[in-house]
Amino acid sequence: MPFKRYVEIGRVALVNYGKDYGKLVVIVDVIDQNRALVDAPDMVRGQMNFKRLTLTDITIDIPRVPKKKTLIEAMEKADVKTKWENSSWGRKLIVQKRRASLNDFDRFKLMLAKIKRAGVVRQELAKLKKENSS
Amino acid sequence: MAAKRKTPVKTRNPDLIRGVGKYSRSKMYHKRGLWAIKAKNGGVFPRHDPQPKADAAIEKPPKFYPAEDVKKPLLNKRKPKPTKLRASITPGTVLILLAGRFMGKRVVFLKQLSSGLLLVTGPFKINGVPLRRVNQSYVIATSTKVDVSGVNVEKFDDKYFAKEVPKKKKKSEGEFFEAEKEDKKKLPEDKKEDQKAVDASLLKSIEGVPDLKAYLAARFSLKSGMKPHELVF
């Protein structure tokens, strides 16, 4: 099984440990075997160990160590944000965040909605069963 | 003593720095007008004879001296501070009770009483919790708020909730057992009226929000997978 996602300049990665946990960053340069220079529109460019990064499928077209302005323009052009939010991985993270931020009242309303949906599904199933058996 | 002034005198000698006044002794003599007082009194500073002392009460020697010296306990002038109300608890907040008879019930917070306890109501029609006092420590404050602007809670204080002291009755031998039986406490009518009055406007604002009534009627419980330290209330 060959690798599909490579560490390259322009690879978008997700930070999975540390202060910037959960942020999308772009690999802007490789420092040595273990570290990369990493940048994002809302953070100061800095080094990060590869162990703190999880590579995504998204890459953007940038020269090595671009200026912040060029980086932002390249990210806009490649439309990283929408690509991420439409990917299944990105959508899952958004749902997780939403579920974690639910209020006690929200959780109650969610429970009612789930029960209602299950009731409707069960009704349909019963109907189909009856049609099938008759 | 001479007549006391209504306001204490502000010093006419401002400090240049601490310990050093702006004006010298002679200047201050002039500023205070001591020359005028002397002039009024014929060149001498007025002198008042000491007021006659009131006769001190005749102290009798005590009848009893303890064998050892009795130590007086130290004076305690501590005044406990009023209980601080958590910032997340405001009038109208839905609280989750954590202990007691109504454990798990979601109730509406009305106000903090002077003893520091929280005044809380079900409302009674929704979940059976009457107007009740509850300690802040046994409560989780949710971020759900109910509109309590129509409720008047002025008349409720700690005295309202005090236990009624039964009048002392002389029990004769025969009446002993009967007296015990008749003592089932009935809730006085005016307390029921108070409950209804408070709940009337609350119910209206609760029914305005969808599902809120069912929410308050249900009890809170931890289910599998819920981590309290990660839950947002």
| Three-state secondary structure readout of B188-220 | CHHHHHHHHHHHHHHHHHHHCCCCHHHHHHCEC
Answer whether residue B110 shows pLDDT above 60.
yes
Q: Write the single-letter amino acid at A121.
A: V
Q: How is residue B161 annotated by DSSP? A: G
Answer whether residue B178 shows pLDDT above 60.
no
Chain B residues whose C-beta sits inside 8 Å of any chain A C-beta:
94, 96, 106, 142-144, 211-212, 214-215, 218, 220, 230-233
Residue A61: CB partners within 8 Å, gap ≥ 6?
A10, A74, A77, A78
Q: Tell me how crowded residue A35 is: count the other CB atoms within 10 A of its CB.
A: 15
The closest CB to that of B144, out of A100, A105, A112, belongs to: A105
Residue B10: CB partners within 8 Å, gap ≥ 6?
none
Are the C-beta atoms of residues B123 and B215 closer than 8 Å to each other?
no
pLDDT, greater one: B44 or A89: A89
Are the C-beta atoms of residues A87 and A57 closer than 8 Å to each other?
yes
B96 vs A contacts (CB less than 8 Å): 104
The closest CB to that of A103, out of B106, B214, B232, belongs to: B232
> Cβ of B96 and A104 within 8 Å?
yes
Q: Which residue of A has its CA nearest to B95?
A: A104
Nearest-5° Cα angle at B183, B179 to B195:
160
* Band of residue B176 on the pLDDT scale cut at 50, 70, 90: low
B139 vs A contacts (CB less than 8 Å): none
**Which of A105, A115, A116 to probe by mutation at the B interface, max B CB count within 10 Å?**
A105
**For residue B170, what pLDDT is reported?**
60
User: Tens-of-pLDDT digits for all 134 residues of chain A?
Assistant: 899 999 999 999 999 999 999 999 999 999 999 999 999 999 999 999 999 999 999 999 999 889 999 999 999 999 999 999 999 999 999 999 999 999 999 999 999 999 999 999 999 999 999 999 88
φ, ψ for residue A116, nearest 5 deg? -65, -45
Chain B nearest-CA distance from A122, in A, is 23
pLDDT, greater one: B70 or A34: A34
The closest CB to that of B142, out of A101, A103, A109, belongs to: A103
Most confident of A91-95, B12-16, B160-164, B166-170: A91-95
- Alpha carbon distance A15, A42 (integer Å): 14
A105 vs B contacts (CB less than 8 Å): 94, 142, 144, 211-212, 215
Q: How many CA atoms does the CB half-sphere of A25 hold within 13 Å?
A: 28
Query: What pTM was estimated for this model as a whole?
Result: 0.72
* Band of residue B217 on the pLDDT scale cut at 50, 70, 90: very high
Give this complex's ipTM. Answer: 0.79
B221 vs A contacts (CB less than 8 Å): none
A113 vs B contacts (CB less than 8 Å): none
Q: Which residue of B has its CA nearest to A108?
A: B215
> Cβ of B142 and A102 within 8 Å?
no
Residue B58 burial (C-beta neighbours within 10 Å; 0-12, 13-18, 19+): exposed
Interface A-B, measured as beta-carbon pairs within 8 A, has a size of 33
Answer whether residue B172 shows pLDDT above 60.
no
3-state SS, residue B100: coil
A109 vs B contacts (CB less than 8 Å): 211, 215
Instruction: Write out the E strands in B31-152.
Output: 93-97, 106-112, 118-121, 132-134, 139-145
The closest CB to that of A109, out of B211, B220, B233, belongs to: B211
Are the C-beta atoms of residues B206 and B199 closer than 8 Å to each other?
no
The closest CB to that of A103, out of B143, B214, B218, belongs to: B143
**For residue B171, what pLDDT is reported?**
60
H or E stretch covering A104: helix A104-133
B230 vs A contacts (CB less than 8 Å): 100
Q: Which residue of B has its CA nearest to A98?
A: B232
A104 vs B contacts (CB less than 8 Å): 94, 96, 106, 142-144, 220, 231-233
